[in-house]
Amino acid sequence: MSDKAWGGRFDEQLSDTALRYSASVDIDKRLAAQDIRGSIAHVEMLASRGVVTDDEARAIVEGLQAIAMEIAQGTLTWDAAREDVHMNIEATLTERIGPVGGKLHTGRSRNDQVATDMRLWTREACDRTCARIDRFLAVLAIRGRGAVEILMPGYTHLQRAQPVRLAHHLLAWAEMLDRDRGRLADARRRMNECPLGAAALAGTTFPLDRAMTASALDFDRPMRNSLDAVGDRDFLVEAVAALANCAVHLSRIAEELVLWSSQEFGFVTMTDAFTTGSSIMPQKKNPDMAELARGKTGRVVGDLVSLLVMLKGLPLAYNRDMQEDKAPVFDAFDTVEDTLDVLTGCVASARFEADRMRAALREGFLDATEVADWLAARGIPFREAHHITGRLVSRCVREGLVLAELPLDAWREEHEAFDETIFEALDLEAAVERRDLPGGPARRRVRAALDELVSRLDARGVQLDEVARSTGAEAAP
pLDDT digits (tens, 9 = 90+) for 241-284: 999 999 999 999 999 999 999 999 999 999 999 988 777 776 77
Q: In degrees rounded to 5, what are phi and psi of residue 16?
A: -60, -35
Answer yes or no: is pLDDT of 171 > 60: yes
Res. 4: pLDDT tops 50:
no
Q: What is the pLDDT of residues 22-56, one digit of tens each?
A: 889 999 999 999 999 999 999 999 999 999 999 99
Could you tell me if 86 and 94 are in contact, meaning their C-beta atoms sit under 8 angstroms apart?
no
Give the pLDDT confidence of 51-89 residue by residue, as tens digits: 999 999 999 999 999 999 999 999 999 999 999 999 999
Q: Is 278 noted as a catalytic residue in this protein?
A: yes
Give yes or no: 394 in active site: no
For 317-344, what is each residue's pLDDT tens digit? 999 999 999 999 999 999 999 999 999 9
Kindly report, residue by residue over 108-166, the tens digit of the pLDDT: 999 999 999 999 999 999 999 999 999 999 999 999 999 999 999 999 999 999 999 99
Cα atoms found within 13 Å of the Cα of residue 377, Cβ hemisphere only: 11
Mean pLDDT of 194-214: 98
Q: Per the residue annotation, which of 278, 394, 455, 470 is the catalytic one?
A: 278
What's the whole-model pTM score? 0.93
**How confident is the model over 191-213, as a mean pLDDT?**
98
- CA 163 to CA 200: how far, in whole Å? 61
Rounded-to-integer distance, Cα 436 and Cα 429, Å: 12
8 Å CB contact between 122 and 327: no
pLDDT at 27: 93
Mean pLDDT of 294-298: 97
Helix (H, G, I), strand (E, B), or coil: what is residue 222? Answer: strand
Instruction: Please give the average per-residue pLDDT across 198-225, as a whole number.
Output: 98
Model confidence band, residue 2 (pLDDT cutoffs 50, 70, 90): very low
Instruction: Give the rounded distance of the alpha carbon of 443 from its chain centre.
Output: 30
Question: Residue 367: CB partners within 8 Å, gap ≥ 6?
Answer: 403, 404, 425, 426, 428, 431
Q: Residue 475 has what pLDDT?
A: 82
Res 20 pLDDT > 50 = yes
**Taking residues 95-106, what's their average pLDDT?**
97
pLDDT tens per residue across span 422-463: 999 999 999 999 999 999 999 999 999 999 999 999 999 999
Query: Rg of the chain's alpha carbons, rounded to an integer?
Result: 30
- Residues in CB range of 289: below 8 A, 6 or more apart: 274, 275, 342, 343, 345, 346
Residues 6+ apart with CB under 8 A from 324: 306, 310
Buried b (16+ CB within 10 A) or exposed e, 454-474: bebbeeeebebeebbeebebe
What Cα–Cα distance (Å) separates residue 409 from each residue in 124, 222, 413, 415? Answer: 68, 78, 6, 10
DSSP helix, strand, coil percent of the chain (3-state; round to 5): 65, 5, 30
Give SS3 for 163.
strand
What is the bridge-based pairing of β-strands 193-194 and 268-269? unpaired
pLDDT of res. 7: 58
| pLDDT computed for residue 374 by the predictor | 92
Q: Which structural domains are found in the chain, ordered by start? A: 16-106 (1.10.275.10), 111-207+216-353 (1.20.200.10), 368-425 (1.10.40.30)
d(CA 348, CA 136): 9
Instruction: Give the single-character DSSP code of 361.
Output: T
Residue 165's nearest CA partner among 361, 411, 386 is 361
Task: Give the per-residue pLDDT at 18.
Answer: 87
Closest by Cα among 126, 110, 117 to 332: 126
Task: Kindly report, residue by residue over 399-411, the tens digit of the pLDDT.
Answer: 999 999 999 999 9
The pLDDT score that the predictor gives to residue 12 is: 78
